[in-house]
């Protein structure tokens, strides 16, 4: 067999050649170099597909994300990829735009054994249909998760985070606290709105105002803020579900000659590094973005190893960071 | 054969079932639904790996990106994925951090026929080694491309873009124009620095100052700006190679009690949507990010179809957008 020839040529065991081919860690750089040189010298073409067919393991994970240009998503995906790579797995990326038709094309890869498992970051409203397509395959819901679904999840407590946001703005003396929310097909958006409304009720603040951004881009935050500011009773504070939306909201406030935070307090969500360097620096709810990704992979690999492992619904901590914008 | 059973059940041809399984466009949603229902009813498990082995086509493309959390990268990758999906291809994403060891693990997927081709967005300094690993496989250099390498490329004219930046700042009366550059192992960084220096020479501006950001995060832009401002002769303008770095530079200037643009003019790069909504709005060089991605896929698919197609080096236009920061 050819792999033995490569091993002899490199002066290593066939197991070591196999480790290099599989991209596992724990092979010393010098050894890896020698094996790669031997592969080139022997013109060895490992047929990975044939091997996957033999072992019925592809060592590939499918990641369904609504849109990678949302910086929250790209940071979670970075965590997913880093952890996957550390375990010798690769990731297939699907931007679904939350369209199940796009997702269905990808999910045939699962039934076709091209991928060993799936991590979804997609809207909860799609989950019942996705669930049907995924069947009994290993699956983790990441960042966006419905605990009532079968299928483990790693999320934050979105309801609690939104309550913290409202409580913070109320403590700063705000009475008309508005919310710029995301697409209400998302469970996170539903949960954050529910937390927002229950906090207002608890604090005896009767005024409420919710506008929805149709995408996580600053233009959508700008448009939502415009609707709020041009209403009969404009808000004196706004809680947005993304730092990206907050950038648009702050820009809109400035165009309306409002000073932040005196005339309008602004609070973001996610804790993107640049939120600290805006003018004024943006208060925000900091999510553990990288960790949401790494933890999802750890749970998925456990599930691939043991398909009968019990379902878990983990909630990672989320922290309010108060800065000059509120 | 099972696929025939599915076709009979759905009342369509086997070719249509195959189109649905392959995720091709051009199947009507209602027909797709019927086929998917038939697949579920017949409990059909298409063995995609076996099929890939038979056709020696995986319909997967490998994308090597240094770091997806750079918003420039995530927007290019979005374009890549959109165009790939439109042609029935899926993408495997590798965050290399420009480490060839990470990349080598992925590139075994190429020799193993798990992927049909590669798009690299990685540092030019790695290209000779990558080139060796890629061999004769279909390959496109995207955004970061050395025209001297065999292997087609889709880029902007980085040298010309940097000249435009310096000319613009000089027209605004600036005499001490500094540059915050990226990792000099990148061809784009080398080319932009060369454009910067040649424009200074042409305009007879003897002062120059270049600092390097070790990553594309605002903190690195802040640190580079700090070094420039605390030097004996601080600049009166700064050209940064990313809008993300510019956010850090502006924050640092404000901390030094400087007003933008009166005391320091700032110019970014990339044209991320939120650059228009910063305070003050950021002047920038707008790159066609989505199009860099889509065009790379088009060229790669041509190459997969015809491995003997001539090499091309396409340059897409890049536009200076002047705003209040300069």
Chain A: residue whose CA lies nearest to B48:
A112
A97 domain residue, yes or no: yes
A188 and A267, same structural domain? yes
pLDDT of residue A43: 62
B84 and B40, same structural domain? no
Chain B nearest-CA distance from A284, in A, is: 17
B293 and B239, same structural domain? no
CATH of the domain at B69: 3.40.50.2300
B221 domain residue, yes or no: yes
Counting other chains too, the contacts that B96-101 makes at CB distance below 8 Å and 24 or more residues apart are B96/B64, B96/B65, B96/B66, B96/B122, B96/B126, B97/B66, B97/B67, B98/B66, B98/B122, B98/B123, B98/B125, B98/B126, B98/B183, B98/B185, B100/B126, B100/B129, B100/B130, B101/A29, B101/A32
Per-range mean pLDDT, top range of A21-30, A145-154, B274-283 = B274-283
A125 and A62, same structural domain? yes
CATH of the domain at A20: 1.10.260.40
Inter-chain residue contact A53 with B58, CB threshold 8 Å:
no
A324 domain residue, yes or no: no
Q: In chain A, what percentage of residues exceed pLDDT 90?
A: 59
Chain A positions in Cβ-Cβ contact with residue B95 (cut-off 8 Å): 78, 81-82, 85
Q: What is the pLDDT of residues B128-152, one digit of tens each?
A: 777 777 877 899 999 998 777 778 9
Domain limits for position B280:
158-286
For residue B114, the SS3 value is coil
Q: What is the pLDDT of residues B75-131, one digit of tens each?
A: 999 999 999 989 989 888 888 776 776 677 677 676 666 788 999 998 777 777 777
A322 domain residue, yes or no: no
pLDDT of residue A123: 78
| Among A208, A239, A241, CA closest to A325 | A239
Inter-chain residue contact A68 with B71, CB threshold 8 Å:
no
pLDDT of residue A54: 46
Worst-scoring range by mean pLDDT, A59-63, A213-217, B42-46, B114-118?
Answer: B42-46
- State whether residue A3 sits within 8 Å of chain B by CB: no
B216 and B172, same structural domain? yes
pLDDT of residue B251: 98
A323 domain residue, yes or no: no
A106 and A75, same structural domain? yes
A61 and A149, same structural domain? yes
A94 domain residue, yes or no: yes
B326 domain residue, yes or no: no
User: Taking 70 as the threshold, does the pLDDT of residue A205 lie above it?
Assistant: yes
B307 domain residue, yes or no: yes
pLDDT of residue A125: 74
pLDDT of residue B113: 67
pLDDT of residue A45: 57
Mean pLDDT along residues B263-280? 98
User: Taking 50 as the threshold, does the pLDDT of residue A88 lie above it?
Assistant: yes
Domains: count for chain A: 3
- State whether residue B41 sits within 8 Å of chain A by CB: no
CA dist B254 and B221 (Å) reads 13
Chain A positions in Cβ-Cβ contact with residue B36 (cut-off 8 Å): 104, 133
Chain A positions in Cβ-Cβ contact with residue B51 (cut-off 8 Å): 112
A232 and A182, same structural domain? yes
Mean pLDDT along residues B243-264? 98
pLDDT of residue A53: 45
CA dist A10 and A269 (Å) reads 53
A152 and A293, same structural domain? yes
Mean pLDDT along residues B190-206? 97
A185 and A140, same structural domain? no
pLDDT of residue A25: 63
B100 and B65, same structural domain? yes
Worst-scoring range by mean pLDDT, A45-54, A307-316, B67-76?
Answer: A45-54
User: Taking 50 as the threshold, does the pLDDT of residue A97 lie above it?
Assistant: yes
pLDDT of residue B53: 45
ipTM above threshold 0.95: no
Predicted TM-score (pTM) of this structure: 0.83
Mean pLDDT estimate for chain A: 88
- State whether residue A42 sits within 8 Å of chain B by CB: no
Worst-scoring range by mean pLDDT, A182-191, B165-174, B275-284?
Answer: A182-191
Chain A, chain B: beta-carbon pairs less than 8 Å apart: 179
A69 and A41, same structural domain? no
Q: What is the pLDDT of residues B29-64, one digit of tens each?
A: 788 778 777 776 766 655 554 554 445 567 889 898
CA dist B33 and A129 (Å) reads 12
């Amino acid at each position: 067999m050819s792999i033995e020839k490569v091993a002899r040529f490199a002066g290593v065991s066939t197991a070591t050649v196999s480790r290099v081919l599989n991209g596992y860690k724990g092979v010393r750089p010098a050894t890896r170099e020698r094996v790669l040189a031997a592969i080139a010298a022997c013109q060895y073409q490992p047929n990975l597909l044939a091997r996957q067919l033999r072992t019925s393991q592809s060592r590939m994970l499918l990641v369904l994300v609504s849109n990678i240009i949302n910086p929250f998503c790209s940071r979670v995906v970075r965590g997913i990829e880093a952890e996957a790579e550390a375990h010798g797995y690769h990731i297939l990326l699907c931007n679904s735009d939350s369209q199940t038709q796009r997702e269905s094309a990808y999910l045939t890869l699962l039934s076709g054994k091209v991928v060993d498992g799936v991590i979804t970051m997609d809207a909860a409203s799609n989950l019942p249909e996705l669930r049907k397509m995924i069947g009994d395959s290993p699956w983790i819901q990441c960042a966006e998760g419905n605990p009532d679904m079968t299928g483990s999840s790693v999320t934050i407590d979105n309801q609690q985070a939104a309550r913290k946001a409202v409580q913070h703005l109320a403590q700063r003396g705000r009475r008309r606290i508005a919310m710029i929310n995301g697409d209400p097909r998302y469970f996170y958006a539903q949960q954050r709105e529910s937390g927002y409304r229950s906090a207002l009720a608890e604090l005896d603040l009767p005024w409420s105002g919710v506008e929805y951004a149709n995408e996580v881009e600053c233009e959508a935050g700008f448009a939502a803020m415009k609707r709020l500011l041009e209403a009969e009773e404009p808000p004196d504070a706004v809680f947005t579900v993304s730092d990206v939306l907050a950038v648009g909201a702050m820009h809109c406030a400035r165009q309306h000659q409002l000073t932040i935070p005196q005339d309008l307090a602004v609070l973001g969500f996610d804790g993107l590094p640049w939120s600290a360097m805006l003018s004024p620096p943006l208060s925000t709810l900091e999510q553990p973005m990288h960790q949401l990704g790494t933890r999802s992979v750890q749970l998925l690999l456990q599930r691939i190893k043991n398909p009968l492992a019990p379902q878990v619904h983990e909630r990672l901590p989320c922290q309010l960071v108060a800065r000059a914008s509120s």
